[in-house]
């Protein structure tokens, strides 16, 4: 007599001990009950491109749904951020080519575009935080984040200018200084310069692990530095093959006085984000870069992806990896969706 073969159900119960993980997934209410991560409008930082003039918003061709806004329209955007409970907007200027030079001197002009936008927004919508990038690339004729001597981006001379840029922006009313330049020692020097200028309360969110990436292309179009860039940024932005180095960068930035750190790009670097968030237990942000945004929107434009679903899924993934928040061009869209 042959033994009766166990049924599939018996086999499964033997293997799982009767624990069926699908049990909790069976209804929307139970899925919501056990969900580990929640995305909320408070997680969002909305990057906005500013331009001169008072004309209508000017679409950025490589970023469907994103436009360069006049100062006046930036104020309207800040009101929208407030109404949608988005805590912070990040301003990025499109600088007229005629104002660009070798050392990016327009960065130090207290009346430059980004400072005027900051003052206008602070006056009209003081309850929304303003973040400004510290880096010279919107202002240099060669498109680099620092000063170029021959083929070299010189570190210390660049840091000197970046400190002055940070103070100019803080004095205009910027709440969060975001050094995105990747020069060595810049966070400590900027902290010192801000304190010396009486800007003790101005926060620093360091782009700590910023990689030399292909995903910044559409952003460079948006700020007009793409066509100008001589060479690439690999002598200062990080090699994308490295993760230990990100830990060293973040440790240094925090020792120098960074209040918050950031990883950029985002989705291809979730391992780095998760590692830094766990290792340092400080507010750690991710930047969903222009290229990541444009990839999704291009697929949406072709009818290949459900854009809203891809948006929420990717933003939730950042949170799951440990992000305190996300800089994303989807901010107004996803905030409106969460509200509705
Ligand atoms: C400037 C800066 C860049 C981005 C943010 N700040 C571009 C670069 O470093 O070349 C990229 C943002 C994006 O791609 O959305 N240093």
Mutate to test the pocket of ligand 1, among 46, 137, 229 (most ligand atoms within 8 A of CB): 137
* Cα–Cα distance, 26 to 22 (Å, whole number): 7
Phi, psi of 267 (to 5 degrees): -55, -40
* pLDDT (average), residues 238-251: 98
- Which tens digit of pLDDT belongs to each residue from 30-55? 999 999 999 999 999 999 999 999 88
Report the residue count for the chain: 340
Give whole-number Cα distances, 3 to 6, 9, in Å. 9, 17
Distance CA 262, CA 89 (A): 15
Mean pLDDT of the chain: 97
Q: pLDDT band at 340, cuts 50/70/90?
A: confident
211 lines ligand 1 (CB under 6 A): no
Query: What is the reported pLDDT for 329?
Result: 98
Question: Which stretch of DSSP H or E encloses residue 100?
Answer: none
Q: Is 249 annotated as a binding residue?
A: yes
Domains of the chain: 40-339 (3.20.20.70)
User: Which of these is catalytic: 210, 230, 233, 333?
Assistant: 210
210 is catalytic: yes
**How would residue 2 be classed by pLDDT, with cut points 50, 70 and 90?**
low
Task: Calculate what percentage of the chain has a pLDDT beyond 70.
Answer: 99
Across the range 261-286, mean pLDDT stands at: 98
- The answer, yes or no, to whether residue 1 has pLDDT greater than 90, is no
Q: List C-alpha distances in Å: 239 to 146, 156, 182, 246, 266.
A: 18, 21, 12, 10, 15
For residue 210, which atom of ligand 1 is closest to its CA? 9
pLDDT in tens, 198-226: 999 999 999 999 999 999 999 999 999 88
Q: Does the CB atom of residue 314 touch ligand 1 within 6 A?
A: no
pTM of this prediction?
Answer: 0.96
Q: For ligand 1, what atom is nearest to the CA of residue 143? A: 10
Residues 130-177 pLDDT 10s: 999 999 999 999 999 999 999 999 999 999 999 999 999 999 999 999
Cβ atoms within 10 Å, residue 300: 17
Tokens of 173: 């009313």
Q: Is 289 helix (H, G, I), strand (E, B) or coil?
A: coil
Does position 78 have pLDDT exceeding 70, yes or no? yes
Looking at residue 227, its pLDDT comes to 85
122 is a catalytic site residue: no
The alpha carbon dihedral of 301, 71, 116, 227 has a sign of: positive
Tens of pLDDT, residue by residue over 4-28, are: 899 999 999 999 999 999 999 999 9
Non-local (6+) Cβ contacts of 311 within 8 A are: 296, 330, 333, 334
């Amino acid at each position: 007599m042959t033994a009766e073969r166990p049924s599939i159900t018996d086999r499964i119960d033997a293997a799982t001990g009767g624990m069926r993980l699908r049990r909790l997934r069976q209804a929307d209410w139970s899925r919501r009950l056990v969900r580990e991560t929640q995305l909320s409008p408070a997680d969002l930082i909305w990057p906005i491109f500013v331009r001169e003039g008072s004309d209508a918003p000017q679409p950025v061709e490589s970023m469907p749904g994103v436009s360069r806004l006049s100062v006046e329209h930036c104020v309207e955007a800040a009101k929208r951020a407030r109404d949608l409970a988005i805590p912070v907007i990040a301003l990025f200027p499109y600088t007229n080519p005629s104002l660009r030079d070798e050392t990016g001197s327009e960065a130090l002009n207290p009346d430059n575009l980004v400072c005027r936008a900051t003052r206008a927004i602070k006056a009209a919508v003081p309850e929304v935080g303003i973040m400004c990038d510290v880096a010279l690339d919107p202002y240099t004729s060669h498109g680099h984040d620092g000063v170029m001597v021959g083929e070299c981006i010189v570190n210390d001379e660049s840091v000197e200018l970046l400190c002055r840029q940070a103070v100019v922006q803080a004095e205009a009313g910027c709440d969060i200084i975001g050094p995105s330049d990747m020069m060595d020692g810049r966070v400590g020097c900027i902290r010192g310069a801000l304190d010396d200028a009486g800007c003790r309360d101005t926060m620093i969110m360091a782009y700590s692990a910023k990689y030399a990436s292909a995903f910044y292309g559409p952003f460079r179009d948006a700020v007009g530095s793409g066509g100008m860039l001589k060479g690439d940024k690999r002598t200062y932005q990080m090699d994308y093959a490295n993760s230990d180095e990100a830990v060293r960068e973040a440790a240094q930035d925090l020792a120098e006085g960074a209040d918050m750190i950031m990883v950029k790009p985002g989705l291809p670097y979730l391992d780095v984000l998760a590692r830094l968030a766990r290792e340092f237990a400080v507010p750690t942000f991710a930047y969903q870069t222009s290229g990541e945004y444009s990839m999704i929107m291009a697929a949406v434009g072709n009818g290949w992806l459900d854009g809203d679903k891809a948006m929420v899924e990717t933003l939730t993934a950042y949170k799951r990896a440990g992000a305190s928040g996300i800089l994303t061009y989807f901010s107004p869209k996803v905030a409106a969706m969460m509200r509705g």
